[in-house]
Structure 1
């Protein structure tokens, strides 16, 4: 609540601008709106509630939040720098580019290294009292020295707002800052790996993530899970009482991405089948490497344990059964690890196996699922160009698994 109090002041300034981006055209006119998609040929700008599409040849310059965030993530690719001066430069860049939430996060990261840094305190609205720096809270002005301890309770958790996420966490300050950046990195990797082909638009609604450093405040779903995506409230929930397991966080955060980009919203009509939902979540999670705050995603990095489990199983599920998995199949104890393994190996095989031979069909099926057509018949239709029926495709999948998992 304490961090959120002043964060609301900072973010209200940026949020009040319904058209934060500027696209200057070669004819001299300027389009004000929000750049929600771009590729190598065009840029899509949302102006109020309507989209305008411009070919790159029509554009002289672009100033967009999405581009600025990509630049900021690139500058912190190895995590936050270890000098206060470098973090100050990043905070000033974020502020100048209109990334108000990222600027606030970065100013706090400066104070994590240098608790007396004047520019950071002033940028965050703190005051220099005779007794030392103070920060605003619901209980009035409090000594800054108490700030870290004040966020231990879930009721007073930190709240970090980046361009696409709102993270509430009672983690240690540095851990929360790093996770906020890494969630943005996950989304960026998902956009590169799948969003471009699907032409996914950037949303102005932040995704919600709640990370609990204490088990008592964590809303246990009843299955003893350390993390889950609560689709009823559209919140990623994580129990970090025994540590923050990034692979698990990224797995569940991918479920959130899939749900909110495919199935949620007034125009959404996607139906993501369970095998694809779990397979893609695991595909993204195992791709992560790098330090906290500097996660990078090598899409196609393989989890050999899944391949080994699938390969050694004498009676694995056949392809038709995997395609028919429901969400409840991944919640039962019956061979659940095998189900996850097969969902993952199927996604990995279709996207990158056999020198990418099936990738085009896989991408067609993902696009079809986003359009609400995700049955086994739709699956077969997506692979018609490969001239393989389901039986032959299954044979190739099993051979691939045997080769990788031996």
Structure 2
């Protein structure tokens, strides 16, 4: 019997159905390898260029100082210290004679009070800033293009030292510049002017001193300042707060702190504190609830800084906005109760828990003050609010929360120090915990801790080999949450085989212990 005339066509179609997915898979791995190479090459070039950029900046600033000296202009001292701070960020060894020259010039030529610098100085300053910022700004845009957002943020801070009013960056961040009148109203002080020590001047230079978010600007224009232990308070009444009094918005009167805490400890009279991204309420004392609001806002910023690539899907925000947490959404709701019994009762929580995030209403519930549990659950809340879905395996969801619950304060910033190496639960067993039922059955068993192993794995992916895997890991987290990982594994994203991943993980752990 002769072959059917369509047989060759059907065979070709059958072969194509086999080859096409394979070709797509190969293309995906090739793209990942290309991206890893681009990132590695960029970071290498960035590090190699630091000294060269510092040398060029030093020369340009000295040229500008010579011009100021020659023309005898009335000048803005802060602008000069910002330039010096920019070189200092690049390479401390290249600051050299700049501070001495600034001191020599500013003795007679620095403006004071509401006095304005000479227009000729401002024109020359504009050109000097352009020359100083262009190299770093070009690198910043390259960093964004390859997904090295943390490098982009560091370059942005470098640019803003040289030029705190950089239009493109401030526009991208959506920030508002405070007037001198508002600065005086809230007693916002430039700390570079409060010391004669050169090193302190450079360390204290704050490029963001005059620049804040729209939310902060509204409150500052109203004369309010943030106190980590009292929340928003009128700057003109700071001394009354220092003496132990607070103004109760609910009762519209001044009260002693003890009386206010007693009044607000009852259901229906809870404290309410609104921050840029949070709506924090509860019956705990004002100091604790204010500290919760302060630390969660700081943690919010750090989550966005570290995981900016995670939130970048769709191109809705500029990468710098994402990295600095300058995104708009309804405030995240957080309740903080005065003790565990009230927490269990009012939050309808299980008695063994210390905090909970409920995706059904997008709210976190805690008691007391800041804690690791609070940081853990708040991580779930931020990722849920920003993605509105989570298709990631449970081990990965918990790994991220375990990593971020290690938050610590360092130089007015919150950092994730990372979890300790665990290495007691086989990796294939951890990676097999994909849904909630599997996870909680394991947690309730006498097996080694899945929480500890997950945190350990996340720390390896974020910090091992000077962060070599970080960007690839965040790409994996992003795709897994959105259900776009197509059953590819974490080691696929990192460019490793499973065995290479396992060996590298345990070697990292042994070196770390």
Which TM-score bucket, shorter chain as reference?
A: 0.5 to 0.7
Give the drift of 1:280: 1.2
**Aligned partner of 1:284 among 394, 399, 404:** 404
**Aligned partner of 2:468 among 350, 357, 369:** 357
Instruction: Return the structure number with greater strand share.
Output: 1
Could you say which residue in structure 2 is the equivalent of 1:97?
217
Could you say which residue in structure 2 is the equivalent of 1:36?
none
RMSD between superposed Cα atoms in Å? 3.9
**Distance change in 2, residues 1:112/1:224 (3 Å):** farther
**Distance change in 2, residues 1:223/1:214 (3 Å):** closer
Give the drift of 1:189: 0.2
Count of residue pairs brought into register by the alignment? 296
Deviations 1:2-43 (CA, angstroms, capped at 9, x unpaired): xxxxxxxxxxxxxxxxxxxxxxxxxxxxxxxxxxxxx95499
**Aligned partner of 1:107 among 217, 230, 233:** 233
Between the aligned partners of 1:226 and 1:389, the Cα distance in structure 2 is 38
Give the drift of 1:141: 5.8
Does residue 215 of structure 2 align to residue 215 of structure 1? no
**Distance change in 2, residues 1:197/1:245 (3 Å):** closer
Could you say which residue in structure 2 is the equivalent of 1:302?
418
- Structure 1-normalised TM-score? 0.62
**Distance change in 2, residues 1:170/1:223 (3 Å):** closer
Kindly indicate whether the alpha-carbon contact (under 8 Å) linking 2:462 and 2:473 is maintained by their aligned counterparts in 1.
yes
| Secondary structure at the counterpart of residue 98 of structure 1 | helix
Larger radius of gyration: 2
Could you say which residue in structure 2 is the equivalent of 1:260?
385
Deviations 1:327-366 (CA, angstroms, capped at 9, x unpaired): 3444332247620111011111112113333234312212
Could you say which residue in structure 2 is the equivalent of 1:132?
none
| Secondary structure at the counterpart of residue 352 of structure 2 | coil
| Secondary structure at the counterpart of residue 147 of structure 1 | helix
- Structure 2-normalised TM-score? 0.50
**Aligned partner of 2:295 among 162, 166, 182:** 182
Could you say which residue in structure 1 is the equivalent of 2:270?
157
Could you say which residue in structure 1 is the equivalent of 2:449?
338
Kindly indicate whether the alpha-carbon contact (under 8 Å) linking 1:319 and 1:394 is maintained by their aligned counterparts in 2.
no
**Distance change in 2, residues 1:152/1:349 (3 Å):** same
**Aligned partner of 1:235 among 358, 363, 367:** 363
Instruction: Return the structure number with greater helix share.
Output: 2
Q: Which protein, 1 or 2, shows the higher relative CO under an 8 Å CA cutoff with sep ≥ 6?
A: 1
User: Unmatched 5+ residue regions in structure 2?
Assistant: 1-138, 145-164, 190-208, 318-326
Between the aligned partners of 2:303 and 2:447, the Cα distance in structure 1 is 25
